[in-house]
């Protein structure tokens, strides 16, 4: 059932003023999830997730209704839908990162994980910079190479242990973790494209 149309039309500036804190909260949440994955420390991640939830609770009704308001530019509706999807991916990554991966496995995977996390962090920062109407000082990498390296290292570990058929939770969860990173990349690229085309 569709929600009621927004009672008040909101301009582009009002929308961006709500989106920027969301992206900032997502960014910090993602970094805390990586910390959880590598250090098994959940305290910071729990707090960052609470911040994300608080940001959502503060959103006005019109923000949720905007996707059904035909008076709002279709690009802006698309952008907000993708923001919702981004949140779902981050929650999924959080769930997967809570698995107790073996220390020797994480040691071999740490470098590509951090390399990928750094590029994701730069991408979030770039989106926020554009929304703030500031000039980007340099281009932003789509971190596809970092994901490929992460996947390559993972496969090499499985081959070395002859565990491609291993159905243990840890290996299944890490494979899912990589899949979610790919989905995260796809959504971030779509958000960037929406901004580039003047959403």
Is the pLDDT at 162 greater than 80? The verdict is no
In whole angstroms, give the CA distance from residue 83 to residue 41: 26
In whole angstroms, give the CA distance from residue 32 to residue 35: 5
Contact 96, 177 (CB under 8 A): yes
Residue 8 belongs to a domain = no
pLDDT band, very low/low/confident/very high, at 196 (cuts 50, 70, 90): confident
Is the pLDDT at 131 greater than 80? The verdict is yes
Residue 30 belongs to a domain = yes
Residue 22 belongs to a domain = yes
**Domains: count for the chain:** 1
Residue 177 belongs to a domain = yes
| CATH code for the domain of 75 | 1.20.58.220
Which of 82, 93, 106 is closest to 176 using CA atoms? Answer: 93
Q: Residue 115 belongs to what domain range? A: 13-196
pLDDT band, very low/low/confident/very high, at 8 (cuts 50, 70, 90): very low
Residue 152 belongs to a domain = yes
Residue 7 belongs to a domain = no
pLDDT band, very low/low/confident/very high, at 163 (cuts 50, 70, 90): low
Reported as a single tens digit per residue, the pLDDT across 30-79 is: 999 999 999 988 899 999 999 998 887 777 665 666 555 544 556 667 78
Residue 69's H or E segment, with its range, is: none
- Give me the mean pLDDT over the 165-186 stretch: 87
Q: What is the pLDDT of residue 66?
A: 56
Q: What is the pLDDT of residue 60?
A: 63
Higher-confidence position of 95 and 137: 95
Residue 182 belongs to a domain = yes
In whole angstroms, give the CA distance from residue 86 to residue 21: 14
- Give me the mean pLDDT over the 179-193 stretch: 94
Residue 103 belongs to a domain = yes
Is the pLDDT at 159 greater than 90? The verdict is no
Reported as a single tens digit per residue, the pLDDT across 79-130 is: 878 888 999 999 999 999 999 888 989 999 999 999 999 999 999 999 999 8
Is the pLDDT at 145 greater than 60? The verdict is yes
- Give me the mean pLDDT over the 163-177 stretch: 77
Q: What is the pLDDT of residue 91?
A: 95
SS3 label, residue 198: coil
């Amino acid at each position: 059932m569709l929600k009621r149309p927004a009672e008040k039309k909101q301009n582009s500036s009002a929308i961006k003023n709500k989106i920027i804190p969301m992206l900032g909260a997502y960014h910090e949440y993602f970094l805390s999830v990586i910390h959880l994955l590598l250090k098994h420390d959940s305290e910071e991640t729990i707090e960052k997730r609470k911040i994300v939830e608080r940001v959502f609770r503060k959103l006005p009704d019109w923000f949720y209704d905007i996707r059904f308001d035909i008076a709002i530019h279709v690009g802006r509706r698309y952008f907000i839908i993708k923001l919702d999807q981004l949140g779902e991916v981050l929650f999924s990554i959080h769930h997967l990162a809570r698995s107790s991966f073996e220390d020797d496995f994480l040691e071999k995977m740490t470098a590509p994980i951090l390399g990928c996390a750094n590029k994701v962090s730069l991408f979030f920062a770039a989106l926020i910079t554009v929304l703030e109407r500031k000039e980007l000082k340099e281009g932003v990498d789509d971190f596809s190479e970092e994901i490929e390296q992460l996947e390559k290292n993972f496969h090499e570990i499985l081959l070395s242990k002859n565990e491609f058929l291993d159905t243990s939770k840890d290996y299944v969860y890490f494979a899912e973790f990589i899949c979610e990173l790919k989905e995260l990349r796809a959504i971030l690229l779509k958000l960037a494209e929406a901004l580039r085309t003047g959403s």
